[in-house]
Every structure is written in C-alpha cells, then in structure tokens.
C-alpha cells in the first residue's frame, strides 16, 4: 500500500512541526485487491449468521399441556426453540381427552447439511429461520362401561391361567 501526505492549505503536513496525517492512497494494484478481499472476509466474520429454530405445537381444541422430550413447554399453542434436529417425543394432555404421545422426526433443511451449515451459521450475514408447526387433533376420552371392564378382566385371567403351567 502506498501512503500520501495530506496538505492543509499551503502548508504540507509534516513541514514546520504541523502534525503528520497519513491518508492511504488507493491504487488498483493486486495487493490492494487482496486487501479488499481480506477486509470483506473480516467483515463477514465479524457479522456472523444465525439460524433460529422454533417448534410450535398447536392442538384442537387448544389449552392442552404440551411436553417435548419430557420437558414441559406450556399450554397449547406452545412454542419453544431447539438446537438439534432428530426424533422428538411430543406428549399432549388435556382433561376429558385421550393423552397423545407422538414421535416426530424433524429433518434439517438443506442449509443445515454438513458444509452448508458452516456457511449458514458463521458466514451468512443475515438470519435464517426454521419454524416447525406440529398440529395435534385431540380425541375425546371414552369411558368403558363396567361390563366391558369385567369382560376384559375375565379374558386376562383366562389368558394368564393358560400361560402358567
């Protein structure tokens, strides 16, 4: 890089005890182009990208208690952020309805694949959002009659006595 002296009026900086000021001269040399690329890469590294991952569980009817991987999230519609992709166990409970346990595989988007992930997490200057919505339809709980319960109990007794010698 080359440097030039700044001139203030008719007195050049550096003459007569005036403070020295350096201004970088901009020339179209190969070294300057390399410098511009390095500065650009440093700016990209200084403003890293970010991937925001969010999972929302909605139920019909709303108001059910939602747990993901045995961690209480809240009352539906409930949302939480997550870091890792993979299989999640979602448990939804509400009085008067059957408890639903769902195992859902959450696959990563293309920008979270190896190699591409490096660029999206560190070099991409903006923010990427990965929002997953899981809808759960709750089924009303059916209460079996006393007669049905007694029939199942008798069937289990017979099955158990046949299995033991």
Tens place of pLDDT for every residue, the chain, 165 residues? 333 333 334 444 444 443 333 334 444 456 677 777 777 666 655 556 677 889 999 999 999 999 999 999 999 899 999 888 889 999 999 999 999 999 999 888 776 677 666 666 666 667 778 888 999 999 998 888 889 889 999 999 988 887 766
Note whether 54 and 129 are within 8 A (CB).
yes
CB–CB of 131/54 below 8 Å? yes
Interatomic CA distance for residues 63 and 42, integer angstroms: 48
Domain with CATH 2.60.40 in the chain: 50-137
Range 50-137: architecture per CATH: Sandwich (2.60)
Q: What is the pLDDT of residue 32?
A: 73
pLDDT confidence of residue 19: 36
Q: Could you tell me the pTM of the whole model?
A: 0.56
């Amino acid at each position: 890089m080359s440097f030039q002296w700044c001139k203030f009026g008719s007195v050049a900086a550096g003459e007569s005890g005036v403070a020295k000021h350096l201004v970088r001269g901009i020339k179209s040399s190969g070294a300057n182009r390399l410098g511009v690329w390095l500065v650009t890469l440093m700016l990209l590294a200084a403003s890293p990208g970010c991937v925001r991952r969010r999972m929302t569980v909605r139920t019909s009817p709303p108001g059910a208690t939602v747990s993901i991987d045995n961690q209480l999230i809240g009352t539906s519609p409930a949302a939480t952020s997550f870091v890792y992709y993979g299989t999640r166990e979602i448990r939804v409970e509400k009085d008067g309805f059957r408890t639903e346990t769902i195992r859902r595989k959450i696959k990563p988007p293309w920008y979270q694949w190896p190699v591409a992930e490096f660029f999206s997490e560190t070099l991409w200057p903006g923010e990427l959002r990965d929002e997953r919505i899981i809808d759960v339809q709750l089924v009303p709980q059916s209460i079996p009659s006393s007669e049905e319960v007694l029939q199942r109990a008798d069937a289990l007794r017979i099955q158990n006595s046949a299995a033991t010698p």
